[in-house]
Amino acid sequence: MRREGGDEQGSLVRGMLRVEAELLLAWAALETKDATASARAVETADLDADALRDGLESDGVMVPELVRQLRASLATAGVEAPRLHAGATSQDIVDSASMLHARDALAAVRADLATTGTRLQGLADAERRSPRVAYTLGRQAAASTLGVQFAGWLDGVTSAIAAIDALDYPVQFGGAVGTGEAADRLGSGAQTTSILRAHLAAGLGLDDPRRSWHAERTPVLAVASAATAVCTALGRIGRDLVTSSGERVGELSLAGGGASSAMPHKQNPVAPIVVVSNALQAPGLLATVASAAISQDERPAGEWHAEWDALRRLLELASVSARRLAASLDRVTVERETARHHLADSAVAGADQVTLQAANRVVNAAISRFLYQDASQDRDTDSDTDTGLGGGSHANSDAGDSTNSEETA
């Protein structure tokens, strides 16, 4: 299946530029200087993409070439930026940029999930008393309702939203071996790294972990797990859509679809197929990220590098699945009479009042859970406003200043 999605590599590079720019501003805040012009020049720098790819090949990471190009660009423009990349290491820049990309990607995914959830809420509510046969282990099992089926889908969407909402997106700033020694030497003393990290987190809208996590990869694993939860929850819906909209079942119909090269009469359920395909790919990518979390030393050799493509691909799969499924549900029509006939023609006892009461309870619980989780973002925003804390909610409030102009790369 061809990949869909945006320019993940470009997004990462833009994120790295933003991190470098915010680091300049963090140093300026610490040293009571003005770095507005240099930060703007860094964030809007015109980079040589081919040279960046060559740098990735030769250096094993793109940041050294990025910094070389930024220094040259600033010098050409006559902009002074002695604190460019000061106190940071390549992993600080890449990890922080990766968290920016993950945060933005999953925010869009969450919005699509909310759209899907709202549609499923309506379907579950409308069809709570529409009888159908429920299946277990591939066989007819007992009477249920279409609303219960939609409620089950809604539960998966709610769980995926909850997984995203539980995430932290920590900034990374620890220097060469994670201790922050280089920044402390450049600044006013032992609190320099903590102050810079807090400023950097606040400027980027990321969380301040108050530590380096170069070799402690739980934050990345959590993001990968949430993206996988999205893929699998939507994959279950996609698989049910393929089955239920097919001629052998026909309890749902799905407008539109893709053409067949050999059978002009066919309309293939392309969007659900893509969602199922993505769900099947996600666990292997998650396994790569989990394996890479077994890091060694203060900065890992190979494990960190193995994360990059797997994490970006997981975010891409989650984004595509969320977008495609949200659009697909608008084209779903419920075939109530077909579902009713299947139940009547089966060996299963029909839906009685107890069946409908049980279905009603399941639907109500699923809808309540979704509405509560969907509103959690508003509750969190209100809490941050009340406490005066933004993205860097654990920011160190200590002040500091420095007159040391020495630079590190």
Kindly report, residue by residue over 121-162, the tens digit of the pLDDT: 999 999 999 999 999 998 989 999 999 999 999 999 999 999
Q: Is residue 79 part of a domain?
A: no
Residue 390 DSSP label: -
What pLDDT, in 10s, does the model give residues 345-368?
Answer: 988 888 899 999 999 999 999 999
Q: Is residue 229 part of a domain?
A: yes
CATH code (residue 159): 1.20.200.10
Report the 10 Å Cβ neighbour count for 117.
Answer: 27
Tokens found for residue 36:
């507005």
Q: d(Cα 213, Cα 226) in Å, to the nearest integer?
A: 19
Model pTM score: 0.88
The boundaries of the domain holding residue 109 are 89-180+211-387
> For residue 392, what pLDDT is reported?
43
Q: Is residue 338 part of a domain?
A: yes
Show the beta-strand stretches assigned E in 68-166.
131-136, 139-145
H or E, element range at 239? helix 218-244
> For residue 68, what pLDDT is reported?
97
Tokens found for residue 293:
């979390």
Select which of 103, 299, 324, 340 is catalytic. 299
Report the 10 Å Cβ neighbour count for 66.
Answer: 26
Q: Is residue 74 part of a domain?
A: no
Q: Is residue 379 part of a domain?
A: yes
> For residue 255, what pLDDT is reported?
80
Q: Which amino acid is at 235?
A: G
Tokens found for residue 297:
């030393």
Q: From the centroid of its chain, how far is CA 91?
A: 20
Average pLDDT, the chain: 89
Is 371 strand, coil or helix?
helix
Q: Is residue 251 part of a domain?
A: yes
Q: Is residue 44 part of a domain?
A: no
Active site residue 260: yes
> For residue 4, what pLDDT is reported?
54
Q: Is residue 396 part of a domain?
A: no
Active site residue 299: yes
- Residues in the chain, pLDDT under 50: 1-3, 5, 258-264, 387-409
Select which of 260, 291, 368, 405 is catalytic. 260
The total of structural domains in the chain comes to 1
